[in-house]
């Protein structure tokens, strides 16, 4: 298996632009997680899905952030409009079952908003 796939790996955009991050979880995994990593705040859970349904989005910072999972093999995290403080590394992770705790992380998308 190729593991969790994220695209793009790097994104540089200007403030106010829309940003879309993409994730393909490991086939067969029921759970998908979106995290944000910064030096100041560390690794933060933004939202997670179970069987394509959003379960907990309490970590989503504000209405500018939205996430979708239209099918079991694809999810997006969208920021609109983007702001410089959104600059971070965004990770997608997936797991077969929540109780197993083995979340497999993707390589991340490094976002820079100018």
CB nearer to other proteins: give 63 or 100.
Answer: 100
Q: From the CB of 62, what's the least distance to other proteins, in Å?
A: 17
Q: From the CB of 16, what's the least distance to other proteins, in Å?
A: 28
Q: Which residues bind other proteins (CB under 8 A)?
A: 4, 41-45, 56, 91, 93, 98, 101-103, 105-108
Please check whether residue 36 is in contact with residue 88, taking contact to mean a CB–CB distance below 8 angstroms. Answer: yes
Phi, psi of 98 (to 5 degrees): -55, -40
Cα separation, 29 vs 26, in Å, equals 6
Cα separation, 82 vs 106, in Å, equals 22
Q: From the CB of 23, what's the least distance to other proteins, in Å?
A: 11
């Amino acid at each position: 298996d190729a593991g969790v796939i994220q695209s793009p790996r790097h994104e540089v955009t200007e403030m106010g632009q829309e940003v879309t991050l993409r994730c393909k979880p490991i086939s067969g995994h029921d759970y998908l997680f979106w995290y944000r990593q910064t030096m100041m705040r560390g690794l933060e859970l933004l939202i997670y899905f179970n069987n394509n349904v959003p379960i907990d989005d309490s970590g989503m910072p504000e209405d500018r952030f939205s996430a979708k999972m239209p099918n079991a093999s694809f999810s997006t995290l969208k920021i609109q409009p983007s702001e410089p403080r959104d600059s971070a590394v965004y990770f997608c992770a997936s797991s077969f079952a929540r109780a197993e705790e083995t979340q497999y992380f993707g390589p991340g998308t490094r976002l820079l908003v100018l």
